Amino acid sequence: MHNSSENLTQSKSVLEMITVAHEFCLFMEKVDSYSQEDVLNYFQKIIPLLYLKGSLLPDIEVSDETYLERYVTAETWEIIFNEVRNKLKPFDEYWVLEQKDDTEALKASIAENLTDAYQDLKDFVILYTKNTQTARENATNECKMHFETHWGIRLLSALRAIHQIKFTTQR
């Protein structure tokens, strides 16, 4: 089997990424129906899986970049963000060191990091399920690029904070 874009967009690594991303998005959309403990336990387990699956995405050559679309609106982002933030209170905010020089601490938000990942992953799932070759190429390519530049590092930052909440904070 040769590695054409068609084969790559339907490879095991892409299909597994779609599955995990879809599950994560569904959970984010229903986060208010779970307890805080269940939410933290879920995120603790899904984040490493999302990171792993994102790191395994293949390089895809896109035949038509004009097919790329974004679906998650600013309003949807805000709704999801607020629901996750409210569920995680008072633990949502945490401090991180600025990556440039490691001397300036900045306030970060688990909800913001996870909602940013949600936006990219939901766009990936929706575009991929348009079920044309061009849509799958663009969806996979964008997901890989956003993993490398955007949501991958945000997931790791959120996971670190969640680990601290679960194991060092008296709840």
- Predicted confidence at residue 1, as pLDDT, reads 37
Judge contact between 31 and 87, C-beta under 8 A.
yes
Return the ∠ at Cα 161 (arms to 107 and 141), rounded to 5°: 90
Give the domain range for residue 164: 5-168
**Residue % of the chain over a pLDDT of 90:** 78
User: For the chain, what is the domain count?
Assistant: 1
pLDDT in tens, 73-120: 999 999 999 999 999 999 999 988 766 666 777 899 999 999 999 999
DSSP string, 67-96: G------HHHHHHHHHHHHHHHTTSSEEEE
CATH number for the domain spanning 130: value is 1.20.120.1550
Q: Is the pLDDT of residue 2 over 60?
A: no
pTM for the complete prediction? 0.91
